[in-house]
Amino acid sequence: MEEEAKNNKYFFRKDKRKSPKKEEEGLGVFFIEVLKIAIISLAIIIPVRYFLIQPFVVKGSSMEPSFSSGDYLIIDEISYRFSEPERGDVIVFKYPRNPSQYYIKRIIALPGEKIQIKNGEIIIYNNEFPGGIEIDEKYIPEDINTPGEVDTVVSEGEFFVLGDNRTASSDSRVWGELNKENIIGKAWIRGWPLDDFGKVDYPEYDL
């Protein structure tokens, strides 16, 4: 009787084991669930990555001291679909002379405005200030002037952009105005370096 009980116990345990077929079915369900998660993740990530935001790494010193080479930025690609770029916005765009290259600069003059650069000063003429007003750029060190001679009216649909590091920037002083169609988006968040992590701040002007 004792031997028979042992045998019954053995068969009971054996019956509890999963068959190879059930194990294969379990693995199949697992992989299907993983595939579902991957598809859903891609469905979310791809539109965000290509239509809403995208990363950008600053190269060069043209935007110092505001942004340094190696800074990792998240670019907001959607805002300009609902509103116009504003003065002071730091934008990433396709370089007009070589669209395969991406530049980062700051918008200084808007469509329809007259901009004059002379003796290191930037003067803006518009409907509010027909006699002109000098821009107060607090993000530029006081001992830094803007070299070059400019006296032009910005065309409709275009913007006059400058790098913050005025002595080391190829910008609208060199290659002219920037068409809005070339703009990718606006600097939104600085992700690196960690000490500067956070939303990008923008200046307020008196014009």
Phi-psi region of 11 (alpha: psi -120 to 50; beta: other; left: phi over 0): alpha
Q: Are 121 and 146 in contact (CB under 8 A)?
A: yes
* Residue 158 near residue 179, CB atoms below 8 Å: yes
Known catalytic residue at 9? no
Nearest-angstrom CA–CA distance, 49 and 42:
10
Q: Say how far apart CA 145 and CA 99 lie, in whole Å.
A: 29
186 is catalytic: no
3-state secondary structure of 36: helix
Which entry of 18, 36, 62, 83 is annotated as an active-site residue?
A: 62
Residue type, 171: D
**Catalytic annotation, pick one of 66, 105, 172, 186:** 105
The whole-angstrom separation of Cα 163 and Cα 185 is 16
Cis peptide bond prior to 65, omega within 30° of 0: yes
Residues marked as catalytic = 62, 105
